[in-house]
Chain A
Amino acid sequence: MTHPLATEQLHVVTVSVNGVRRTATVPARRLLSDFLRHDLALTGTHVGCEHGVCGACTVLVDGAPMRSCLMFAVQAQAHEVTTVEGLGTIEAMGPVQQAFTECHGLQCGFCTPGFVTTITAYLEESPDPSADEAREAISGNLCRCTGYQNIVKSVLRAAELRRDRLAAGWERSNCAVVNEGGAGEPS
Chain B
Amino acid sequence: MKPAPFVHHAPTSVAEAVEVLRSVGHDAKVLAGGQSLIPILSMRLASPGHLVDINAVAGLDTVQVSEDGVRVGALVRHAQLARDEAAYAALPLLRQALVHVAHPAIRNRGTAVGSIAHADAAGELPAVLTLTAGVVEAVGPAGVRDIPAGEFFVGPLETALADDELAVAVRFGRFPAGTRTGFAELARRSGDYALAGVAVAITLQDKAVRSATASFVSVTDVPDVLDLTTAVGPDPAAPDLDAVADAVRAHVTPDGDIHATADYRRMLVAELTRRLVTEVLSR
Contact = CB atoms under 8 A, between A and B. Distances in A.
A185 B8 CA distance: 25
A75 B104 CA distance: 20
Given A64-B108, A66-B108, A70-B35, A139 B103 contact: yes
B208 interface: no
A100 B142 CA distance: 57
B55 to A, nearest CB: 6
Interface string B8-32: 1010000000000000000000000
A70 B38 contact: yes
A43 B97 CA distance: 36
Interface string A66-107: 110111101100000000000000000000000000000000
Nearest to A28: B8
Interface residues of A, number: 35
A67 B106 contact: yes
Contacts, number: 97
A4 B5 CA distance: 7
A186 B77 contact: yes
Contacts of B53: 72, 74-75
Nearest to B190: A139
A51 B61 contact: no
B7 A9 contact: yes
Given A28-B6, A185-B80, 20 more contacts: A9-B8, A28-B8, A28-B51, A29-B2, A29-B3, A50-B42, A51-B43, A58-B105, A61-B109, A66-B105, A66-B108, A71-B38, A72-B8, A72-B38, A75-B34, A75-B53, A118-B105, A139-B190, A140-B191, A187-B61
25 contacts: A4-B5, A28-B5, A28-B6, A29-B2, A29-B3, A29-B5, A29-B6, A31-B38, A51-B43, A52-B102, A64-B79, A64-B108, A65-B104, A65-B105, A65-B108, A66-B108, A67-B106, A70-B38, A74-B10, A118-B105, A140-B102, A140-B104, A186-B108, A186-B109, A187-B61
Interface of A: 4-5, 8-9, 11, 27-29, 31, 34, 50-52, 55, 58, 61, 64-67, 69-72, 74-75, 118, 122, 136-137, 139-140, 185-187
Interface of B: 1-8, 10, 34-35, 38-39, 41-43, 51, 53, 55, 61, 77, 79-80, 102-106, 108-109, 189-191
